[in-house]
Structure 1
Amino acid sequence: MTITTEFRLRSSVLPLVSIPETLPPDEIVCSHSLCIEPNAQVFIVEINAEDDVSDAQLAALDEVVSVTPFGERDDTIVYKLTVELDDSIAPAFDPERFESVKMKSTLITSEGWHETKEFPDYETFHDFHTTFENHGISLDLVSITPEPSSSNDPTGDGLTDRQREALELAVSRGYYESPRQVSAAELAEVLDISQPSLSNLLRRGERQLLTSSLEIQQPLNTLSR
């Protein structure tokens, strides 16, 4: 099950925030990025043509190594910008750490980045979140949406999608470790449900897994949610 996340990154040393900070655009759109060496990254960005930003203005920014205009598209000018990353955050942008993560869109303002990304699972998103926080980049989660399984019960274990989602998150975040690495309240917040609802999902999911693995017939009055 993949998950789609929307979040905001905040740090004064994030790449490209210098453009809306010092030049006319209030925001720019980044459609693609590529790491070419540990401390340098290429970004494909779109800047509104009405903002009248010149190649020279972009090249004059301290972080920008080179500027290549690609042409115009839908009243925007497309550029390829090679940017030198700040040493403090460069490791967080190492593509090998999160090669399975897909960028869907990035909006860059003077306050930071507003991103939508697709992650293969909750554990990868948790690692991504932790990595950026450890490098001084605050991540504020806006939304997190799981993509439903293609069938109602592809594994044959009898779990509902919501039960599986809660159990996978709990396992990936260390809820079942001793001592626990995360609280039920924190898991409930990620899933945007109440703590009692989270506990109910986990309890029913655990019971279903035990019943399925031990081949125990459930009582007839058991309700599945």
Structure 2
Amino acid sequence: MTVRTEFRLRSAALPLVSIPATLPPEEIECTHALCLEPDARVFHVEIDAEHDVSEAELDALEEVVTVTPLGERRERSAFKLTVELDDAIAPAFDPERFDGAKMKSTTITADGWRETKEFRDYETFHDFHTTFENHGISVDLISITSDQFPPNDAARDGLTDRQREALELAVSRGYYESPRQVTAAELAEELDISQPSLSSLLRRGERRLLTASLEGRAPDIAESS
């Protein structure tokens, strides 16, 4: 099973947030990151050329160790930056801890990072989520999907999109673990709905999954959430 997630990482200690926080661009794109040492990484970043950010301005940032200009690409100035990670968050960026594969460039703003990653299963994503939270980096989940049900079999379980979203979030956050790792109120807040609405989505979704599994057929999908 593959789990695809989109999320925001928020912490003032995150690498490269100092660029949009102190220089003209409101956001930059990070296309590649390579771990050199436990506390240092190389990042390839692209900045809209119209902002005219210089090598000297980047080199003056406290976290940046070295800067190498890479020219312009698609009207963007590209740089290779060696960055010293903050001691408090460096362990969370150990590449050997997780199997997550980045699907597209990371968007970095003064508020944090926005990423899309694939994980091999929900447990791997949950470990990723927990590790970052434990190191003071907030993880705001935007979306989560899995390939557990192939597209042409998507209707087989009878779930609505909203029910599937709620169930996948609940599984990824450890709601069904013992003891529970998250409350219904916290899940509801992430989905921006009331707790009774969240409970209803989970209850109806669980009922449909059980019906489909036990009876070996698609449940009556006339019922809606």
| TM-superposed deviation, 1:44 | 0.6
| TM-superposed deviation, 1:81 | 0.9
Q: Structure 2: how far apart are the matches of 1:47 and 1:182?
A: 38
Q: Which one-letter code corresponds to 1:48 in the other structure?
A: D
Give per-residue Cα distances to partners, 1:119-173, cap 9 Å, x unaligned. Answer: 43555444333322221223445x32536743353696x3526455544443443
Corresponding position of 1:53: 53
Q: SS state of the match for residue 77, structure 1? A: strand
Q: Structure 1: how far apart are the matches of 2:195 and 2:136?
A: 30
Q: Which one-letter code corresponds to 1:2 in the other structure?
A: V
Corresponding position of 2:94: 94
Q: Structure 1: how far apart are the matches of 2:4 and 2:212?
A: 26
Q: Structure 1: which 5+ residue stretches go unaligned?
A: none
Corresponding position of 1:74: 74
Q: Structure 1: how far apart are the matches of 2:155 and 2:26?
A: 48
In terms of Rg, which structure is larger? 1
Query: How many corresponding residue pairs?
Result: 220
**Alpha-carbon spacing, 1:194–1:77, altered in 2? closer, same or farther (3 Å):** same
Q: SS state of the match for residue 107, structure 1? A: strand
Q: Which one-letter code corresponds to 2:159 in the other structure?
A: T
Query: Is the contact between residue 106 and residue 113 of structure 1 (CA under 8 Å) also seen in structure 2?
Result: no
| TM-superposed deviation, 1:80 | 0.8
Q: Which one-letter code corresponds to 1:28 in the other structure?
A: I
| TM-superposed deviation, 1:102 | 1.6
Q: Which one-letter code corresponds to 1:64 in the other structure?
A: V
Corresponding position of 1:146: 145
Q: CA RMSD in A?
A: 3.5
Q: Structure 1: how far apart are the matches of 2:21 and 2:221?
A: 59
Once structures 1 and 2 are overlaid, which stretch shifts more, 73-82 or 26-35?
A: 26-35
Q: Percent identity of the aligned residues? A: 63
**Alpha-carbon spacing, 1:125–1:191, altered in 2? closer, same or farther (3 Å):** farther
Give per-residue Cα distances to partners, 1:98-132, cap 9 Å, x unaligned. Answer: 332425233333x3324131343555444333322
**Alpha-carbon spacing, 1:209–1:107, altered in 2? closer, same or farther (3 Å):** closer
Q: Structure 1: how far apart are the matches of 2:44 and 2:191?
A: 33
Give per-residue Cα distances to partners, 1:6-61, cap 9 Å, x unaligned. Answer: 425231x2212333444444443222212122111111111233433333343343
Superposed, which structure 2 residues align to 1:161-180 within 5 Å?
162=161, 163-180=163-180
Q: Structure 2: how far apart are the matches of 1:212 and 1:26?
A: 48
Q: TM-score, normalised by structure 2?
A: 0.75
